[in-house]
Amino acid sequence: MQVQTHKEECIMKLQAALDTLTLEECLALLDHTKGAVDIAEVGTPFIIECGMEPVRAIKAAHPEIEVLADAKIMDAGEFEADKCFEAGADIVTVLGVSYDETIEGVVRSAKTHGGQVMVDMIGVMDLAARARELDKMGVDYICVHTAFDIQGTGQKDPLEDLKVVNAVIENARAAVAGGVKLATVDAIAAEKPGVIVVGGAICNADDPAVMATAMKERMK
């Protein structure tokens, strides 16, 4: 019998980061992608502008799609995660640079609500060491993230970061975010992360639904 590792046993999910579209545009995109988008991320800028309303609206319109609230929680982990899950989020993000107590609070909240936790590794200096610690804390995804503000500066290589995290985790699945586009998705998909996050490449495309579908095709 062939034994599957945890990295091989699940499909790769496409997470569309909805940062800059209106709620109407997001709903239209999800209507037209017909299953290409596995996770609809209500992005941090969207949350800053509209609070939890897009989480509620997207979940109500598309109960079949997982909704991630990119709250990037940094403190008051359990309390803030509760707010996201109560609004209908399936997955909530917490920053990897937060104290362990904060991350433990988010994990507790996820357990209470039957949700999941994605740790955003933005700003984490020692990726391997922190990923090892987080992997033991019951989080579901550990997401390497090239910050929007440093994309194009060459300071980070998402593919290399993904390899570092994938090499040390045993329980969680890896995710990758930050400037992923059609030209780079094949190499990333080859590393079998659990989730590939795509924001601007979908939202700024001439036809976001066509781009989302093309991205998902490359992940099969």
Instruction: Give the interface with ligand 5RP as residue ranges (CB under 6 A).
Output: 17, 19, 43-44, 70, 148, 177-180, 197-201
Calculate Rg over the CA atoms of the chain. 16
CB of 4 to ligand 5RP, least distance (A): 29
44 vs 62, beta carbon nearer ligand 5RP: 44
How many residues in the chain? Answer: 220
Nearest-approach distance from CB 177 to ligand 5RP, in angstroms: 4
d(CA 193, CA 8): 9
Q: Which is nearer to ligand 5RP, 97 or 132 (CB)?
A: 97
Nearer to ligand 5RP, 132 or 218 (CB): 218
Q: Are 41 and 94 in contact (CB under 8 A)?
A: no
Residue 1 beta carbon to ligand 5RP: minimum distance, rounded to whole angstroms: 39
Provide, rounded to whole angstroms, the least separation between the CB of residue 126 and ligand 5RP. Answer: 20
Q: Which residues contact 200 (CB under 8 A, 6 or more apart)?
A: 19, 20, 179, 181
**Based on CB atoms, which residue is closest to ligand 5RP, 95 or 164?**
95
Identity of the residue, 110 or 211, whose beta carbon is nearer to ligand 5RP in the bound complex: 211
Work out how close the CB of 2 gets to ligand 5RP at its nearest, in angstroms, rounded to a whole number: 35
Q: Between residues 108 and 159, which has the closer beta carbon with respect to ligand 5RP? A: 159
Smallest separation, CB 47 to ligand 5RP (Å): 11
Query: Which of 52, 66, 64, 54 shows the shortest CA–CA distance to 15?
Result: 66
